[in-house]
Homo-oligomer: A and B are copies of this chain.
């Protein structure tokens, strides 16, 4: 292959940019912020990502979708998928303060991008719906197996969990406190049993 060698790998730029977007959101993150965080100058940046800021944001979001897909694969292999989901919620309490304050980049994006960017908004909403769908499907199966006593429909319980996910996205900023969050999570998970 010809040409000057790349020193700023695409995946690395996205990773570094993701952290900034995650903390500051889309609008408040400037190109200057991204250049500082990634080390790449405007030349490299726009040479790599013709779509500029928005393309990098999309890729950062896409990276999160992959993490979700990985979890969904774990879930498919698991013989106690409900416990896996519950442990996923329980693990929130164990996060450090920065993670609490950052919250979920997808849920943040839904809140931020309404009336700002229809495209980014719809994409984030879609991802949350897929997570919800994963919850719903798991609950449906477990109900059939008799592993859940609740007679509430899996659709409503699935929405209950995604609502909880979005709710705790704010609660953990109000109380970035392990003990408080732990108790709260256990109480809410008890509804699915």
Contact string against B for A residues 150-193, beta-carbon threshold 8 Å, 1 for contact and 0 otherwise:
00100010011011111111110111000010011001100100
B114 touches A111 (CB 8 A): no
Binds B, one of A3-11, A102-110, A138-146: A102-110
Within 8 A of B (CB), among A96-131: 101-103, 107-108, 110-112, 114-116, 121, 125, 128-129
Residues of B within 8 A of A184 (CB): 156, 159-160, 163
Binds B, one of A24-32, A35-43, A60-68, A69-77: A24-32
Query: Nearest chain-B residue to A28 (Cβ)?
Result: B27
A23 touches B114 (CB 8 A): yes
